[in-house]
Chain A
């Protein structure tokens, strides 16, 4: 069982918006610790798309946005495109050199 809980799968149609949740505890996401999100295509290395909760690295589309409320971090993808179909992982620091990842969410673009 993963330390951070994500839905196993989400789906949406092109043009729609979807949100992937990442549920932690007061000791990790809820403690103002930095949260990051990664996109991973099959057989490829992950790619950073959100860091420190809501910041986008240079070159990442502004269709990707991150937010947090209490113990839940969220990744929203707006204007869904076929190329967004991938696995998405959340990550949160939990103090004392503990870095937690979620179990991953498979996004299907219908």
Chain B
């Protein structure tokens, strides 16, 4: 049973860089799954940020691509999200997820989420 756990700062100031890490346990990160990030502003809908394969291949949402970088560390069994130049609009619950292959575009495992607030 795969388990995902997000970690990282919960409060940022505008213009700072959001950095989150997702620890993967119970399933090999170097497998036929993609690993990604999805966020949800309070009371709003879900938004996919991007996904990464264990070999470093990535897919990014076009609306965030200019500010997002995903990375993976297979030795530590974790993957990470960096989002630069944050604003209040980036305030959201951030979930790390496992994606069922690159063609299904479905996410079958989710972390519990971590709330990130951007405020001066």
> Which residues of A are in contact with B by a Cβ distance under 8 Å?
2, 33-34, 36, 38, 45-48, 51-52, 57, 89, 91-93, 96-99, 101-104
Contacts and interface: CB of A to CB of B under 8 A. Distances in A.
B45 A45 contact: no
B61 A45 contact: no
Interface residues on B, range: 20 to 34
B86 interface: no
Nearest to A93: B105
B83 interface: no
A45 B113 contact: yes
A35 to B, nearest CB: 9
A96 B59 CA distance: 9
Given A45-B95, A45-B113, A102-B45, A51 B59 contact: no
A51 B100 CA distance: 9
B72 to A, nearest CB: 18
B48 A52 contact: no
B110 A46 contact: yes
B62 A96 contact: yes
Nearest to B93: A45
Contacts of A34: 103-106
A37 B65 CA distance: 25
A89 B103 contact: no
